[in-house]
Amino acid sequence: MPVSNVPFPSGRVAHLRARVSAAVLGLLCVAGAGAADYRIDTVAEGLEHPWALAFLPDGRMLVTERPGRLRVIERRADGGFALRAAPLAGVPPVFASGQAGLFDVLVDPAFAQTGRLYLSFAHGTARANHLRVVHARLGRGGLEAVTPILTTQPAKTHAQHFGGRMAWHADGTLVVGVGDGNLERTDALRLHTHLGKHLRIDRDGGIPADNPFVARAGARPEILSIGHRNPQGLVRVGDALYAHEHGAKGGDELNRLEAGANYGWPITTDGVDYTGARVTPYTRWPGVTPPLTHWTPSIAPAGMAWYDGALFPAWRGSLFVAALVERSVRRVPMTGGTPGPQEVLFTELGERIRDVRSGPEGALYLLTDSAQGRVLRVVPASAD
């Protein structure tokens, strides 16, 4: 089945219709096993390096822009979408340089009662910066009662490897991925620093009493897991938390997070350094939790979503992984916590994909990573 009617629009609305087969998109699964007819519509455009997307109960969407803006997309009466011209007021100052900026936005599960949002972002200066998480109340004019609840320690220099993805643990606590800073790699294995870890905190920043290192002298009590390079995908599926992270030249990983587990960086990796030099001779090591799968060469995994919606029955029970370098989204079917043959999707866009989210109505949403980034919506080709 050929790719057909795939314009690359410059207008306000894009209708990219793709009747896609495994052979055309170079899928990694058996031809036709996961193929779906879909259409890609542009929801919003002109966004500067959009990083994350969240859905509000009333149908509005929130989008972060890496330079430090939080934008609102509203649903029109005719069923379409409109990007509100002015960003929301009240976003705290963001250190925006290189990879640093405003990252994730997460909606409180009790938003209807609290009106609360959570933001993660780079805080500080080039000489001394941190990953910071705040919660705030969404008011009519913007954010109110902005309160920091996590500031990673110690301060680091430069503007690389912040991590920044957030997700709700099954018990209602907050999990945050933190990159290794790309300076002293072995910090990812050292317990005195937050770098290269996943952290777990209460919704107001407190320390859960059952965190794995909470009683360890000299350890940061927020640490949930260690040995991560630059995690930028995090999603909960039932009681399980899945995370992915960037390797260097290869060695991108998909992991299931377990409290107290060591995921190996930089002692184990399936990749090499950007120069081609070996980071380590080991891909596996006793006591290190191996990845569920790895991508070598690198696809540069960014956001991630779990799909269990009604619009695409063939895609249910899958993780969707946004890929910057591959300019695609990987569909990773999961059976009993084990990844199956993968499907490479949306390469016809030819764009770096920063985030992928499953919408409440069953559509998939994509964020394209550019100075003129877009929010895209994937629906069945036959949808109205």
pTM over 0.85: yes
Q: Is 306 helix (H, G, I), strand (E, B) or coil?
A: strand
d(CA 28, CA 130): 39
Residue appearing with tokens 């991108």: 252
Residue 276 domain flag: yes
Averaged pLDDT, groups of 10, the chain, 384 residues long: 29 35 36 69 98 97 98 94 98 98 98 98 98 97 97 97 98 98 97 98 98 98 98 98 98 98 98 96 98 98 98 98 98 98 98 98 98 98 88
In a domain? residue 361 = no
Instruction: Give the domain range for residue 262.
Output: 92-320
One-letter identity of residue 355 = D
**Per the domain annotation, does 85 fall within a domain?**
no
pLDDT at 10: 30
Q: Is residue 224 part of a domain?
A: yes
CATH number at residue 123: 2.120.10.30
Q: Is residue 348 part of a domain?
A: no
Active-site residue among 161, 198, 244, 246?
A: 161
- The DSSP line for 314-360 is GGTTEEEEEETTTTEEEEEEEETTEE---EEE-GGG-S-EEEEEE-T
Q: What is the pLDDT of residue 117?
A: 98
Please indicate, yes or no, if residue 239 is contained in any of the structural domains: yes
Exposure pattern of 7-16 as b/e (b: 16+ CB <10 Å)? eeeeeeebeb
Q: Known catalytic residue: 161?
A: yes
Residue 342 in any domain: the answer is no
| Distance from C-alpha of 353 to C-alpha of 326, rounded to nearest angstrom | 9
**pLDDT at residue 34, rounded to an integer:** 53
Residue 38 lies in a domain: no
Domain count, the chain: 1
